[in-house]
Structure 1
Amino acid sequence: MFLRLTGARHAARPLAACGQCVAAGAGLAANDLFTREDRHVTDKAGPDSAPALPGCTNVVLVRSGIPRVYRCLRQGTAASALVYPVRVDASTAAAFNKQAKALQGVSHPHVASVLESGVADGFPYLISIADAGTLAEQIRSQLRSPADLAVLGRQLAEGLAALHGAGLIHGGLTPGAVVLLPDGRPQLSALTLGLGQHTGHAALNSPSQLYVAPETLRDGTLTASSDLYALGAVLHAAISGKPPLAARMGETAGEHILRVLNEPPARLEVLPDEFAELIALLLEKDPAKRPMSAEVVAAALAALATPTTAPMPPVRPVTAAPTKQAAPATPPLPRPAVMSRATLRSWPTTTAPTPQQKTTPAPQQPAAAPSPPAGPPATGGPTPPAAPPQSGGQGPSPASPPPAAAPAGGASSPAAPPAVAGVKRRNWLLVAASVVVAAAVITTFALVNRKGQTDTPPISGPTPTTASTPALAVKLNPPADHSTYVDLSWTGPSDVNYAVVIAQVGQPADVKLVYKHTKYRVNVVPGIQYCFAVQATDGINKMETDPRPVRDAQCER
């Protein structure tokens, strides 16, 4: 069952009428992002076409989402056109033009300059200088170091201070709303400009949901303090590669929102204590506990970026400044468990299981006395064949040799289970995934590929080695995003069967069996984030490619 926001007259309350539904864990239909019944919105832009923009030629879509970003030529110079894909009425257009004019008056090195603004054919738009990509694109390939993060944070905080000083609220700050100039300088872009309630900028299932302040998710409040929360979330993503409270596997949009409203984010242990504490303050649930202003945040980050003997400026006013005495180190809080494939026993493996090698016990010194009853006594006979690995890979192997220091017959220390190693990868899943569906597809693969095989019982013998069943080599190419559909293609053997995994934020993953095809077209909702992967099997081996994102999605296999 889907949660549908219909009949909403005020964007100030996207969840006001559905708190009980969210508490029940209901999801949101992806199309709701563009089908809200609002008297201010009369139409939406076409999927790939842009309205006629005055003075712009050679218009090409470069980034879908809200707003859509087009590259164009303006007076012979490359420019970026940001088009908000909703047709607005006269009163909303007047309000947009007022804020756009105020934005044009902001001259700051870390705020994208607006060359022109207006409403073309009913669609609001901004024209700015051409950028060289976004912070979201950079994060996918390279994370920031603590020193670089302090510089980035100071620059963005200074840009926010300039906007707030002009009476503007960004309202949609995400890594995708931070554009990078050719010299690497970051600039704030893609402001809501009062259109958030019409475009779904801060709505459920929108890309900005992962960076929206709790009060905005709760009742639509947009303030300077909510911008500071978004700044903390962006810095968190720039150092860790994921937002503070990324969606978990199988989690609906409603369940995710409940965590954002109630669960504190994990502390960034890679940062120095003062830096981690500053980001934790920015991510406070209560706006009153966040820093007072963007100027204060910029000053604190400047002190972090430039080591000095002077104390870091206080982020919030304090009634007393007691000297911090050295105290015994407090053990860090345990990390929250990550729900990923490595920790789900029922998730099918994506590579052929590696048979446990038969081990020969090392020569041991004869024991002078019987070993204490700490484990099963060692036998002098041949080592029995290793038992098949149990689901989840937990528990010591009976064929594992004891440590060299342990006496013969002593209990051997079990190795750490692979599931723990999976947890330590510190990977979070933005998109939902369906364990049951994936398992069913793997089973279907096996049935399809085993058609025609005889039912000859297997001949008893030693377990085949991995060399006799080479792993499948399949590579998923970067998806081609066309706003309303995405074209997928991949390379791999021609004699195996394939399936496409389609994951949309807040929804269970869908799996499409495509047999031996190596191309597939997926119909998608404009502006919604997706992740894609390809599964393959020859009836014996099976594998899954690394996921590929579109629209700044963050994916984990």
Structure 2
Amino acid sequence: METIGEGPVAVVYADGGSALKTFPAPLDRQTRADLDGELAALRTLGDARPILVPDGVEVLPDGKPALRMERCVQSLAQLVARNGPLSAEDTVTIGLTLSAALATAHQAGIVHGGVHPGNLLFRDTGEPLVADFGVVLRAAFPRDVLPWLEFTAPETVRDGTADEATDLYGLGAVLRFALTGEPPFRFQPGEQDGERVLKVLHVDPEPVQDEQLGALLGRLLAKDPDDRPDSAAAVTEELSWLREPELPRTPIKVIGPPPAKRQAPADRHGKLGLILGIAAALALLAAAPILLLSQRASTPPQAEMGAAQLPPLVPTPSKEPQLTLDEPVDLGDTVKLTWSSPEVLDFAVVIAPADQPNRTVYAERKHTLEVPVSRDLPYCFAIQGTNGAQTVETPPRPIRGATCKT
């Protein structure tokens, strides 16, 4: 089958008129049940909504799961890369599609969990669809999300929050990308990943030139989720007015106390496999450059693994957390990593392949993780952990003859 897409975790193949999105390891029974329930809930939303719902889950001969779905011709990311930014009119049209899809899902209690230009897709007719709804697979397969960092809400960076407000932030980031051709925060040559994280947490995006769209984007990209619009449905209404400004809008006078701020769901945290920050200290530390450098043919590859020297965010306690990484188990296409700590820590897995950029996978509070690897490359691995006040890193562990250097 032809490969038509590849992300940090999944690979998408063309299979006739369908797309087959494959994942790197089998699902356990509970995860499969959760995924089936999530897909069933999406199917209840109806075909009229601009949501790409997978046809179902298939198990490949090697036991790995795959989602079969309609094959689309391109994503918004690909469209903008080829043709440049969209007009304000087309951006509003895209926004109406995305906000309507989010509004429908939110009303059914479904969160997208990772809105970015790569999952806004187009049929060959030009009709846009929103793909990749749901958090079950994001939790099952933690991924390196640094490529989409600038489209991720600050609260997700801090603690893994995934809710309606974080979807609205993603909506704003996608619309800004469509209109300008750039994410909310422009990447600068030589910029470290930790600096990118700091921008998302603390820097407001520069305003866009379009006055009306700019005002809406500013609210969608607010650092405080309570400063964002109340709902995706409210955004749909505002975008509809921007497209048809001659339609009158009836002002409504609010009498009595102001409306209460948006209440967070009872369990907003920990449901997402894409945690960028696990507390800001770990986000900055884990994102530091880690290189595995191939030596001369007569010597095995070496990995230079280090952490950014950044000021502590909180006072450092006298006792350093304890963290131990067991010997990695090489399974061919994946490597099983297991680590231990007597303390409650949040973790990140640092993956350093030979002659390639490092990857960082956020593991929440898990103590084991199976990560996808290439069969023909040596690797070094390390685990980083934080208790919110201090960070600790294990000595790196090699596989396939790599020599790891700290």
> TM-score if structure 2 supplies the norm length?
0.59
- The partner residue of 2:35 within 96, 99, 104 is 96
Tell whether 2:253 aligns with 1:310.
Answer: no
Equivalent in the alignment of 1:69: 12
Could you tell me which of 157, 170, 181 is aligned with 1:217? 157
Between the aligned partners of 1:210 and 1:86, the Cα distance in structure 2 is 28
Equivalent residue in structure 2 for 1:301, among 224, 239, 244: 239
The corresponding residue for 1:197 is 139
Are positions 1:105 and 2:105 aligned together?
no
Matches within 5 A, 1:379-418: none
- Per-residue CA distance 1:486-537 (angstroms, 9 max, x = gap): xxxxxxxxxxxxxxxx996999xxxxxxxxxxxxxx9899xxxxxxxxxxxx
Alignment of 1:232-381 (within 5 A): 232-269=172-209, 271=210, 273-308=211-246, 310-311=248-249
Question: 1:197 offset after TM fit, Å?
Answer: 2.9
Contact 2:95/2:175, CA 8 A, preserved across alignment = yes
In structure 1, C-alpha distance between the alignment counterparts of 2:139 and 2:255, rounded to whole Å: 34
Partner amino acid, structure 2, of 1:126: L
- CA distance 1:69–1:290, change in 2 (3 Å): same
Partners of 1:144 and 1:171 lie apart in 2 by: 25
* Other structure's SS at 1:195 match: helix
Contact 1:177/1:188, CA 8 A, preserved across alignment? yes
Amino acid at match of 2:116: T
**Pairing partner for 2:26 from 57, 79, 87:** 87
Deviation at 1:68, TM superposition (A): 2.2
Partner of 2:315: none
- Structure 1 position 281, deviation (Å): 0.5
- 1:91, distance to aligned residue in structure 2 (A): 1.6
Q: 2: distance between equivalents of 1:235 and 1:134?
A: 14
Letter in 2 for 1:135: L
Change (3 A) 1:253 1:197: farther
Distance 2:177 2:255 in 1: 27
Give the Cα–Cα distance (whole angstroms) in 2 for the partners of residues 251 and 294 of structure 1.
33
Aligned position for 1:146? 88
Q: Quick check: 1:211–1:243 contact (8 Å CA) kept in 2?
A: yes
Report the CA distance between 1:222 and its aligned residue. Answer: 0.3
Who is 1:155 aligned against? 97
Task: Name the CA distance, whole Å, in 2 between partners of 1:524 and 1:133.
Answer: 34
- Separation in structure 1 between the aligned mates of residue 179 and residue 230 of structure 2, nearest angstrom: 24
The alpha-carbon distance between structure 1 residues 211 and 524, as it changes in their structure 2 partners (threshold 3 A), is farther
CA distance in 2, matches of 1:128, 1:249: 37
Q: In 2, Cα distance between the equivalents of 1:151 and 1:524?
A: 47
The gaps in structure 1 that reach 5 residues or longer are: 1-58, 321-431, 434-482, 485-501, 508-521, 526-557
Q: Deviations over 1:135-178 (max 9, x none)?
A: 11100122210111111101110011122122211112111111
What amino acid is the match of 1:138? L
Q: Where does structure 1 differ by over 4 angstroms across 4 or more consecutive aligned residues?
A: 118-122, 311-314, 316-320, 502-507, 522-525
Matched with 1:175 is 117
CA contact (8 A) 1:86 1:198 kept: no
1:137 equivalent in alignment to 2:78:
yes
Q: Secondary structure at the match of 1:156?
A: helix
Query: Amino acid of the residue matched to residue 131 of structure 1?
Result: C
Indicate how the Cα distance of structure 1 residues 312 and 200 shifts in structure 2: closer, same or farther if over 3 A, else same. Answer: farther
Are the aligned partners of 1:150 and 1:301 in contact in 2 as well (CA < 8 Å)?
yes
Give the 3-state SS of the residue equivalent to 2:149 in structure 1. helix
Write the deviation string for residues 441-495 of structure 1: whole angstroms up to 9, x where unpaired. xxxxxxxxxxxxxxxxxxxxxxxxxxxxxxxxxxxxxxxxxx99xxxxxxxxxxx
Q: Structure 1 residues 204, 176: CA separation in 2 closer, same or farther (over 3 Å shift)?
A: closer
Residues 135 and 204 of structure 1, relative CA distance in 2, 3 Å threshold: closer
Of residues 29, 32, 56, the one that matches 1:116 is 56
Residue 126 of structure 1 is matched in structure 2 by 67
Q: Is the 8 A contact 2:39 2:53 kept in 1?
A: no
SS of the residue corresponding to residue 184 of structure 2 reads: coil
More strand by share: 2
Q: Report the counterpart of residue 148 of structure 2 in structure 1.
A: 208
Cα distance, 1:312 vs structure 2: 8.7
Partner of 2:292: none
Distance 2:359 2:179 in 1: 24
Question: How many Å separate the matches in 2 of 1:145 and 1:317?
Answer: 39
State the TM-score, normalizing by the size of structure 1.
0.44
**Offset, 1:200:** 3.1
Kept in 1, the 8 Å contact 2:207–2:218? The answer is yes
Whether contact under 8 Å (2:31, 2:140) holds in the other structure is no
Q: Distance in 1 between matches of 2:202 and 2:255?
A: 25
Distance 1:157 1:103 in 2: 16
Tell me the CA shift for residue 313 of structure 1: 7.9
- 1:253/1:506 contact within 8 Å kept: no
Over the matched positions of the two proteins, sequence identity in percent amounts to: 30
Deviations 1:12-33 (A, max 9, x none): xxxxxxxxxxxxxxxxxxxxxx
Structure 2 CA distance for partners of 1:318 and 1:144, relative to 1, 3 Å? farther
CA shift, 1:104, in A, is: 2.6
Deviations 1:169-189 (CA, angstroms, capped at 9, x unpaired): 111211111110011111011
Describe how 1:32-51 pairs up with structure 2 within 5 A.
none
Instruction: Please report how far the alpha carbon of residue 250 of structure 1 lies from its aligned counterpart in structure 2 after TM superposition.
Output: 1.5
Q: Structure 1: how far apart are the matches of 2:182 and 2:236?
A: 23
- Root-mean-square deviation (CA, aligned residues, Å) is 3.4
The question of whether the paired residues in 1 share the 8 Å contact of 2:50 and 2:100 is answered with: yes
- 1:199 deviates by 2.5
The answer as to whether partners of 1:252 and 1:506 remain within 8 angstroms in 2 is no
Work out which of the two has the higher radius of gyration on C-alpha atoms and give 1 or 2: 1
